[in-house]
Structure 1
Amino acid sequence: MLKMMMMRNIAAASFYCSSRRWRGMPCLHSNSTLVVFDNNYFAFFHSQPSKPIKSTRTQLDQPRPSVVRFNQILGQVAKLKHYSAVISLYNQMGVSRIGHDVYTLTILINCYFHLNQMGFSLSVLGKFFKLGLEPDVFTFTTLIKGFLLENRVAEAATLLHKMMRGGNCQPNVVTFGTIIRGFCMKGNNSAAIQLLRKMEEGACKPNLVVYNTIIHSLCKDTLVVDALNLFSEMMSKGIAPNVITYTSLIHGVCKLGAWKEATRLLNEMVSKNIFPDVFTFNVLVDTLCKEGMVVEAEGVVEIMIQRDIDPDSVTYNSLMDGYCLRREIGKAKKVFELMLSKGSMVDVVSYCTLINGYCKHKKIDKAMMLFLDMCHKGLVADTITYTSLVDGFCKVGRIDYAQKLFSKMQACGQLPNVRTYSILLDGLCKNRQLSRAMQLFGEMEAKKLDIDIVIYSILIEGLCITGKIESARDLYCGLSSKGLQPNVRTYNIMISGLCIAGLTHEAKMCLSKWKRKAVLLMVGPLTQLSEGSSIINRHQGQWYLFKQW
């Protein structure tokens, strides 16, 4: 009966509460959650998360449920990510004179930080002291997770150190693992390893999860030698690796193109009766496809199928990406159609991958048809999808459409990133729409986006194309004051602009400033510059290594 009740919706639940069967029983009710207590059982019903809560009078003529039973229901609702409902139900606990304990307040902290209300999470600590309760290790671990969720790694680390110095509530392996994961997510591998060493010195020893976290982070940052050393150290301590450990290592060595080492690791894991899973195979397929080795990737997929491991959307998305990189759009489309035939495998990444492939090869109409199909199916296009389409329209010279799409993505709640801005900025400059380009640049400054040398190079080129060489020169000369250094493309653009403007002498002077600098130059149209023994031949698309002695 309880299972049947759990499957009902809010309307049905409200009916039960008012019916003869449930009348007079303790219950808490909101727009999204209803809790009914009946002797030793409880049931809850839910609809949509995060709905505002409407308080109702709780029936008190029956015995109130214990805090243990209420904690169980709060925990279940929290697992369903109905965080606002949990908070409202908690508030009604006071009205219903249901007690609180450490676990109740820890659940409350968890819900507040998931709602990006870390300040309220911290205020809950005051309730601990008011109620005479002592926060336990799970409470502090939850707070640390909250800090990390808000990218406040330093505060999370401070809380950990206070726990370590306090003596009453020492961190456990989950606490250490949580903060180590936070360090790794920030790319601070050295801090993660330092904390690992502290664990080794103390009573709380690192487990496989902790080692896997650091090994994965090292491999992600291509610090594969360090990862392999840590792997050896882990095994020497008697901690056996699992499929996650080997998958991380294989990913790391594959990124470096060390296929022999990847094969050795695969053979080693199988010899230990640790068999590759879908994630391991996906790493191989994805890396091979990114290297343009799609035939080899197809072979890996065949092995997966032979081993009764079903390829998932990640596998097929990687294959599509590989085909697109090789300009084999037809094959990518066939993979997409295969995914469609399998039902629910196609996701936003699938659509985005094929849309990006079409855009790269200037098949913008097919890309738009796919985009419309995606929206029709209820999938929400992300920033990457919109950026690909903006790039596609710019590539075919349809700048007005690119600008409309740029506006639409923001109206749909997808914020453009620096890459989106740079693509549209480049399209505007190449089509001599400098006024709009400068306006777009102003938007970037107003939003305090990270404006890098790529953006400035695009603007300098736009100024040169429209004959505003003085403005281009001023922008170029001001780069150092912004903490930026010209790259290869910046040098090429400036030299080309000066030459086109007939300022050959000034171009030579610029070259003389680059003495003893080796600069890779991609040279533009038809002019020649010579200075001493150095000659730059200006042929479209040719690369030379210029060295001014």
Structure 2
Amino acid sequence: MQLHIKHSTTELANRISKALITSSNHQKSIPPLKWTPLLEQTLHGLAFRNSLSPQLVSRVIDPFLINHHSLALGFFNWAAQQPGFTHTSISYQSILKSLSVSRQFNTVDKLMKEIKMQKIVLSASAYRSVIASHLSGQKALSAFSVFSDVRWMICEIGVDICNALLAGLSSYGHLGNARQVFDEMLLRGVRVTTLGFGVFIWRFCGNSELGDVLMFIDDVKRQVSQRVNGSVVALLVVHGLCFAGRVDEAVSVLDVLRKKDCKPDFMAYRAVAEALRETGNVAEVEKVLKMKRKLGVSPRGSDYRDFIFQLISERLVCEARDIGEVIVSGNFPIEDDVLNALIGSVSAEDPSSALRFFKYLVEKDRLPTLLTFTNLSRNLCRHGKHAELVEVSKTLSGKAYFVDIERYNIMVSFFCKAGKVKEAYEVLQEMKKKGWGPDIVSYNSVMEACCRENMVRPAKRLWDEMFANGCEADLRTYNILISKFVEIGQVKEANGLFCHMLEKRVEPNATTYVFLLKGLCQENEVVTGLEVFKKSFEQDAEMARTLLGKFILYLCKKGHFIAASSLVRDYNSTIGNSESNMILLKCLADAGEVPLAIEHIKMIGKMSPPMMHELRTGFLSSLSSPSKPQPILEIIQVIETLQLNHAPSE
């Protein structure tokens, strides 16, 4: 019986979610998968009120709406408004999971306050999900706030999340909060890891007594279950002290750390020696280097590899960068995948450091992966480092990196995004010489860049060159040029391209028609515009339906009211609807063309009497903020009169 109930709940949940998704995708003028009050009618139509329960709400949201947070939250709120319904922990957990996945932090915070006020206790997995979401969104204090309310559940929340929270708070300088998490972990026996304790002790060294630092290390070492890498901790301690200018303490702590089973490796000794070198203390530098040769151990690449990947996965990019720079500056072993990860992640925040990692990689006669090259190029563009982008590509070109059309196209694409059109065109010529295209992707990138930079003549020459090289234009090519020609008023050329694409059997899309119809109306080419619209209708009636409203607006903006009215009338029986008629009538009312509006309304009354009610409702709602209320009142009066005339006699 229980299995049957569960099966029925799942089936009903599936039906509800499908109905919401389908209805939301068919809402006009509203983005798909977005909740609106109209969806309440969909829910009422399913007639499942007697089956509504927190379990059903939970099942609808998770798994069916888990990635559609707007629908999930709308359904959750709708359920709360139903008579006799109250959310419980199970429904709260599902909505929090959906909102956490989509990082809707403000809504999550609001719901967490509700849960706290109602004294509802969630599962550890729910708190874990919320804390992880806040940390991924770099909201460490919000994550700590959630943790503080349920710190008694710390063992269930788990080792990974607690250490991630400890590291995140420490990274952002919230050391007081981090200390609370650390103390709670020790008290409850939650194992600390190299990630959590390492970042905490690293940042704690900056302005804390050395005795406290060593005390914390002792506390961790006493943990039976601890898995902290002593050599990594030693490096982080001396690095933190040196960064804070406490170089003498860094020298003295080396031997202390070794005795505490945190044996400094060559990297730790070198970090201290370099800090001393900057102070000009040559004698102390030699002393530390002798200690390194006598007592130091060779760093284990796998230890730092794992640590760096953990830092990157927790979005602690600055810490990953600093460790990477210690390794690279000392020419210590580092694997290619670690360098690639550092280049890609660090370039998002610190492109200069990323370029140093890139140069180190290339100097070792190794090359970045295609993903790394793409990420580095994208971030250099984003930070405006355009000259550096060109330099990176030149360096790689000299290393025979570009061995296929895919790699060349990535280089061309980012040159174009950076506005380096000349350099992008030179790459096209290089591609031809080496027999790697160019293909239509290459040409489109450069064509678009030319148009963006108002280089129309070079774009036209590129068009000719493309066909001369046997490369046929695609839809994107035509749209790039048609939109640019319309923008600069060369509508005749735009229409010529439209005819050309039809001859070449390249099917236009809505974007093509929107650009061209707008341009033709701007140049008062109404007849041609009507012919183009007719082609869109013949090609795809549903697409023409979406274009109709825009075409009406373009015509009315240039004063072609009669043509707009005729357009709506001609297509009223096929793709016309209340929305297109409403657009026309509002344009006529705003322009004071009331007689023409009345004539159009009478035509609708004869052709589509049921539409009169929708138009009346639309105009009544528009009365709240009309610039010219009198024409609208006249139109409403005419509609009401026609409705009375068409009403059945009793």
Q: Which protein shows a greater Rg?
A: 2
Q: Which has the higher helix share?
A: 2
On whether the aligned pair clears a TM of 0.5, the verdict is no
TM range (shorter): 0.3 to 0.5
TM-score norm. by structure 1 comes to 0.42
